[in-house]
Structure 1
C-alpha cells in the first residue's frame, strides 16, 4: 500500500492526458482521411448524415479519453518502472518472434472482441451501451470509436493488459495499433476498398473487411469478429459479405 501511495501520480496523470491527446488526434486524422477518401471515391455517400457524424465524433472523442487512460498508465510504467514486457532492442528476442507476437496480439484481441461483442448483442449488452454504436445507420468513417463509455472501457483494456503478459517489440506494438485503427475505420466507412478478388477469394474467407462487417450492421446477429472470421465460422455466426460492388 505504501508503494502504491508513493507513485508519482502527477506524472502518471500527465502521461494519461498525453496519450488521450494522441489517441484523439489519431482518430481525427485517420477517420478524417478515410472520410475525405470516401468523398472522392463515393461522392455523396454521407449526404444527409451531418447530425449523425457530429454524434459519432463526440462519442469517439469521449472514447479517446477512455482509451488514453490505461494506455498512459502503461506507457509510464513501461518507461519508468519496467512494468510491461515491451522491449526496444530487436536482439532481445529472435527475429522470428516479431511476426509471431503480432499474430498473437491480433488473435487474442480478436477473441476478446468476438465474445464481448456477441454478449453485447444480447438484451443486457444492448442496454449496457452497445445500442449507441448501432445508432449510426448506416455507419460512416467517423463511427469506428463511437461507443458508449462502458463499451469503450471493455475495448481499452485489452492491448494494455497483453503487454504485461506477452513480450512485444515497441515497433510491433505500433503496428498492432495501426492495424486496429485502420481496420476499425475501413470496416465502417460504407464501401469496400479491397478488390472483389480479395473479398470473395481465399483471403477474404478468413479476413474481415467492410463487406463482411456491413452485414453485421444490417442484420445484427452475425459477423461479430474484428480481424478474422474463424470465430464466426466455428460458432455458426458467419454470413457472406454484402455486395458493395467493389472495384474490379
Structure 2
C-alpha cells in the first residue's frame, strides 16, 4: 500500500479533496499491455492489505466459523437459511457501521481525503425518516441483506444438490486461486452494463434514483438501493451457474458486492493511520458519477466508459461534455 503523506485539500471550492486531475486511463485492459502497470496492479490488490484481501479474509473466517455447512443446504430449511441471514446482517452492521462510526461519528481523520465538503443529510424530505443515514440503513439492511441472502441460499442449495459445477483447491488449485482474482473483474463488467440499464430513464426514475439521492455518499449509501436494483446488482453471482466454483468463491463474490459497496462509498479515498494511507476505500472515479450522474458507470479497471464515451476524467472540459450529453438525453425523452 502507498504510504505517502496526505496532500493538502483541493483548492477548488467544488471539492474538498480530489486526486491529481485529469484522471489517467488506468484500465488493466489497455492495449498494448503495460506489464509493469499490471504487476503493480496485482501487487497493490493482492499482495498487500487491500480491500480485496480484507474481504477475502472476512469470507474465509465466515465460511469456517459463521455460515452453516454446505451439507445443511441440501434442502430449504428455516434453520440454515435464518443463520445465513443473521450472519449477513451482522457483517453488514459490522463493516458499514464501523466505517460510519469512524469517519462520521468519531471523525477519525476529519475531512482529510474526503471528496465532498458535505456530510450526511438530516432534516430533508428527500430521504425516508428525513435522515440520509437512517434511510440508507433501512434499504441496506432490509432489501440489501435480503437479496444478498436470497442469492446465497439458492446458489448453495444448487451446489449442494449437484446442479452447479463445483471445484476445490485440491482438484484444481490454479483455477481455485485465479477465480478470486477474476471475481472483481467479472463484477466490474457486470456492474457497468447493469448500471447503464438502470440509467435508462424508465429504470432510473422508478428504481435507480433511490440510490442517486446520495450525492454526498457514506458507508451506508453503498448498498442503499431499490429492491429491483438489488435484484440486478446481486445477479452478478449467476456466473457460478456456468463457472466451476467453491462455496468460498460464492461467499467472497457476495461479500465483494455487499460489503465492498460499503467500503467504496465511504466518501474518503483512503483510511489514514498516523497520517499515512493504509487502506484504499472510495474512488474519485465513482464520486464523479454521484455528482454528474451520466458518466463513469463502471470503474477504472474496465475500459467500457472510455470506449463508449462516458468517461469523466475530473476536468472542467469533461464536465461540460457530460452536461451537454445529459441535456440531449433529457430532450430526447420529452
TM-score after normalising by structure 2: 0.58
What is the deviation of 1:155? 1.5
> Is the CA contact (8 Å cut-off) linking 1:16 and 1:70 kept in structure 2?
no
> What does 1:84-233 correspond to in 2, within 5 Å?
84-87=164-167, 89-93=168-172, 95-159=173-237, 161-193=238-270, 209-226=282-299, 228-233=301-306
> Is the CA contact (8 Å cut-off) linking 1:86 and 1:168 kept in structure 2?
yes
1:61-112: CA deviation from partner (whole Å, max 9, x where unpaired):
1221122112112223323x1222233x31111x222343234333332222
Question: Which of 64, 71, 85 is residue 145 of structure 2 equivalent to?
Answer: 64
What is the deviation of 1:189? 1.3
Distance 1:241 1:194 in 2: 22
Matched residues, number: 221
Q: Which runs of 5+ in 2 are unaligned?
A: 1-73, 112-116, 123-129, 316-334
Distance 2:300 2:99 in 1: 18
Classify 1:58/1:208 alpha carbon distance in 2 versus 1 (closer, same or farther; 3 Å).
Answer: closer
Distance 2:235 2:241 in 1: 11
Q: Name the residue aligned to 1:37.
A: 102
If asked which structure has higher relative contact order (CA below 8 Å, sep 6+), I would say 2
Classify 1:71/1:241 alpha carbon distance in 2 versus 1 (closer, same or farther; 3 Å).
Answer: farther
1:27-82: CA deviation from partner (whole Å, max 9, x where unpaired):
11110121123131236963654811000000111221122112112223323x12
Distance 1:151 1:59 in 2: 11
Distance 2:75 2:252 in 1: 29
> Is the CA contact (8 Å cut-off) linking 2:119 and 2:216 kept in structure 1?
no
What is the deviation of 1:148? 0.4
The structure with the larger Rg is: 2
After superposing the two structures, state which structure 1 stretch, 46-55 or 63-72, moved more.
46-55
Secondary structure of the residue aligned to 2:267 is coil
> Is the CA contact (8 Å cut-off) linking 1:101 and 1:167 kept in structure 2?
no
Classify 1:91/1:83 alpha carbon distance in 2 versus 1 (closer, same or farther; 3 Å).
Answer: same
Higher helix share: 1
Classify 1:226/1:148 alpha carbon distance in 2 versus 1 (closer, same or farther; 3 Å).
Answer: farther
Secondary structure of the residue aligned to 1:41 is coil
After superposing the two structures, state which structure 1 stretch, 127-136 or 227-236, moved more.
227-236
What is the deviation of 1:15? 4.1
1:221-246: CA deviation from partner (whole Å, max 9, x where unpaired):
1111157342212222122259xxxx
What is the deviation of 1:193? 0.6
Give the superposed CA RMSD: 3.0
TM-score after normalising by structure 1: 0.76
Q: Which runs of 5+ in 1 are unaligned?
A: 1-7, 199-206, 243-248
After superposing the two structures, state which structure 1 stretch, 30-39 or 225-234, moved more.
225-234
> Is the CA contact (8 Å cut-off) linking 1:133 and 1:143 kept in structure 2?
yes
Classify 1:102/1:123 alpha carbon distance in 2 versus 1 (closer, same or farther; 3 Å).
Answer: same
